[in-house]
A and B are shown apart, each in its own frame.
Chain A
Amino acid sequence: MTGTIPLQYFLIISTLMFFTGIYGFLTRKNLITMLMSIELILNSVNINFVAFNRYLYPDNLHGHFFSLIVIAVAAAEAAVAIAIIINIYRNFRSIDVDKVDEMKF
């Protein structure tokens, strides 16, 4: 496949996205931003699946289906997570993780 983007480029991008997501999840203090970091992780997984499928295994569609399912599940997860975050806001009047610390070691 001359003239197309090599597979490695996709993998580098997706790995960068994955670790940006992990970094964001661990450092951000806002619950919504943490949720966005998780979305970043899930999207890096989608890139991986689709790129692997297109470049290495073009004769099956497992990767495409997997990424579709991941998108659907991510939506469900975000819906529940946001509902719970709204509930957090009602209880604590804040969505800052430093404020949500009633239980500690």
Chain B
Amino acid sequence: MRHELLLTAIALILLVTDIMLKPSQKPRIIPVAMVLFSIHTIAGFFPAQEGILFGGMFRATPLISMMKNVLNVGVLIILLQSYTWLMKEENRDKMSEYFILMFSTLIGMYFMISSGDFLMFYLGLETATIPMAALAAYTHHQTKSAEAGVKLILSSALSSGILLFGLSLIYGSTGSIYFSDVALFYGTEPMQVLAFLFFFSGMAFKISLVPFHLWTADVYEGSPINVTSYFSVISKGAASFILVLILYKVFFQLIDVWQEVLYIISILTMVVGNLFALRQKNMKRFLAFSSIAQAGFILLGMIAGSQLGMTSVIYFVLVYIFSNLGAFGVVSAIEAATGKINMNDYDGLYITNPKLSLLMMLAMFSLAGIPPVAGFFGKFFLFTSAASAGYYWLVFIAVLNATISLYYYLMVVKAMFINKTETPIATFRSDGMTRAGLILAGLGIVVVGFWSQVYEFINSLSVGLLY
């Protein structure tokens, strides 16, 4: 409960502080928010009390607080990276709203991950989704941002509706909404399979798996870039965490059904995400489709239904947070400094901005899964877990897809290091906060890969199917 209480207190403090500040003093909210959130992130790592609250609606276990810590680290990096953009004149009046909205979505995700029944799960999901639409429409005078907001709120409301219909059928067939009771009474009756499929479709919208991915690219392109990185990393990570928990803890009797569903959806997601990423020229859209393809790989880890499966999913999300935030950090730093967002603007970046290019290269290698960096180990464990459950063909297809993805990730590296242009992006120096965010992401990409204790720690907390 400490995570939730602390973050709610921080959001309220910021809200009150914002009222008391004069318009000219508004930028002071940024260091306050950063310091408070850093304290919150560090406090999260101290061991917390385990237990069940509100008659089973809220659970706290070491595994769950570790998931929350993973999300916290990601949000901290995003906050640091958004400093330059927040300090722009157009955001001066509303910069505290950025923090408050972001923290309320994070509180929703905490409750969603900690939920012990479907009511709390639904509330957490909506608390995480509704403020996010406001974040997407944050630069409300830009048509693209407004369009992203409306696309996000409508598609997520539809997906919640579908998910809720599934939940109502689950309630009808089991008579309970508590995870532990539903797990006891859940079988493979047609109505229960149908209910599960409704539920899974709703979740697939949130993780942007393939038949439900069409909102992703537009919302990612239209939103402010730091909000985009928040969607692609934190919101996707939180939804993957709760999906793996619910699949393993509630629907374990249905394992034959959801393994088939995951099999098909993960192949579709990887293939479609990769093929569409190939033809993107805008970096935001490119990263959107790359993140769809990465979601396909996450499903690959879930399919095993073993302890290894859960470990590999959490570990991959941790690695993915660092690598994607490395890439988004560079894109956002360049956009804030020059306003350029297309891939061919990156030609010759290495000559003018070598450090940024190196970080971008690290991030791209990590997303593609090239050995020395963390992304390789993330993918490796996902493949191991799927192969250990006997899914050799699926792993084969996934390896093929990883090879395709290598092509487009290396296109970015090629643009920066090899392509020559007469007008490269001029040399610029970001401010301290942004640089700290970039360095943290870069460190994460390297350290998480080499420091095997991270993986072993996650493995010691994970659990397989209950049975």
- A42 in contact with B150 (CB, 8 Å): no
Q: CA separation between A41 and B164, bound complex, in Å?
A: 9
Report Cα–Cα, A70/B168, bound state, in Å: 11
- Count residues of chain A with CB under 8 A from any CB of chain B: 43
- Say if the beta carbon of B169 comes within 8 Å of chain A: yes
A91 touches B164 (CB 8 A): no
The 0/1 profile, CB within 8 Å of A marked 1, for residues 200-215 of chain B is 0000000000000000
CA distance A35 to B168 in the complex (A): 21
CB < 8 Å neighbour of A21 from B144, B150, B161: B161
How far in angstroms is the closest Cβ of chain B from A17? 10
Do B119 and A66 have beta carbons less than 8 Å apart?
yes
Segment at the interface with A among B126-134, B328-336, B397-405: B126-134
In the complex, which residues of chain A have a beta carbon less than 8 angstroms from the beta carbon of B164? Answer: 41-42, 45, 70
Interface pair B137/A84, CB less than 8 Å apart: yes
Interface residues of B in 119-173 (CB under 8 A from A): 119, 122-123, 126, 130-131, 133-134, 137, 140-144, 146-150, 153-154, 157-158, 160-162, 164-165, 167-169, 171-172
Nearest-CB distance from B101 to chain A (Å)?
11
Distance of B146 from chain A, by nearest CB (Å): 5
Alpha-carbon distance A41/B144, docked complex (angstroms): 28
B147: chain A residues at CB < 8 Å are: 88, 91-92, 100, 102-103
Q: How far is the CB of B221 from chain A (nearest CB, A)?
A: 5
Hey, which chain B residues are within 8 Å of A57, CB to CB? 175
Which residues of B sit under 8 angstroms from A87, Cβ to Cβ? Answer: 137, 140, 146, 149-150
Q: How far is the CA of A83 from the CA of B153 in the complex (A)?
A: 11
Say yes or no: A73 contacts B123, CB within 8 Å. yes
**Overall SS of chain B's interface:** helix
A103 touches B222 (CB 8 A): yes
Contacts of B167 in A (CB 8 A): 45, 66
B30 on interface, CB distance cutoff 8 Å: no
Report the bound CA distance from A22 to B162 in whole Å.
9
The answer to whether B165 and A41 have CB atoms under 8 Å apart is: yes
Which A residues from 46 to 105 make CB contacts under 8 A with B?
48-49, 52-53, 56-57, 60, 62-63, 65-66, 69-70, 73, 76-77, 80-81, 83-85, 87-88, 90-92, 100, 102-105
B154 & A81 in contact (Cβ 8 Å cutoff): yes
B362 on the interface (CB 8 Å rule)?
Answer: no
B95 at the interface (CB under 8 A from A): no
Asked if B172 and A103 sit within 8 Å, CB to CB, the answer is: no
Q: Does B300 contact A (CB under 8 A)?
A: no
| Chain B contacts for A70, CB-based, 8 A | 122, 164
User: Judging by beta carbons under 8 Å apart, are B122 and A84 in contact?
Assistant: no
- A-B Cβ contacts below 8 A, count: 128
B residues 194-230 touching A (CB-CB < 8 Å): 217-218, 221-222
A57 to B170, CA, bound (A): 13
Asked if residues B134 and A80 are in contact (CB atoms below 8 Å), the reply is yes
Judged by a CB distance under 8 angstroms, whether B177 is at the interface is yes
In the complex, are the beta carbons of A76 and B126 less than 8 A apart? yes
Q: In the complex the two chains form, is A80's CB within 8 Å of B165's CB?
A: no
C-alpha gap A63/B119 in the complex (Å): 10
- Residues from chain A with a CB closer than 8 A to the CB of B144 are 102-103
A66 to B178, CA, bound (A): 12
Q: A77 near B130 (CB under 8 angstroms)? A: yes
> What is the bound-complex CA distance between A53 and B177, given in angstroms?
11
Q: Which chain B residues have a beta carbon within 8 Å of chain A's beta carbons?
A: 118-119, 122-123, 126, 130-131, 133-134, 137, 140-144, 146-150, 153-154, 157-158, 160-162, 164-165, 167-169, 171-172, 175-177, 217-218, 221-222, 276
The contact sample of 17 A-B pairs, CB cut-off 8 A, is A22-B158, A31-B150, A41-B164, A48-B168, A48-B169, A52-B172, A60-B175, A62-B177, A84-B137, A84-B149, A87-B137, A92-B147, A100-B147, A102-B144, A103-B222, A105-B217, A105-B276
Residues of A within 8 A of B (CB): 18, 21-22, 25, 31, 34-35, 38, 41-42, 44-45, 48-49, 52-53, 56-57, 60, 62-63, 65-66, 69-70, 73, 76-77, 80-81, 83-85, 87-88, 90-92, 100, 102-105
Further pairs besides A45-B167, A56-B175, A76-B130: 18, Cβ < 8 Å: A22-B158, A25-B158, A38-B161, A41-B162, A45-B164, A48-B169, A63-B168, A66-B122, A66-B171, A77-B160, A80-B131, A84-B153, A85-B150, A91-B141, A91-B143, A92-B146, A103-B217, A103-B218
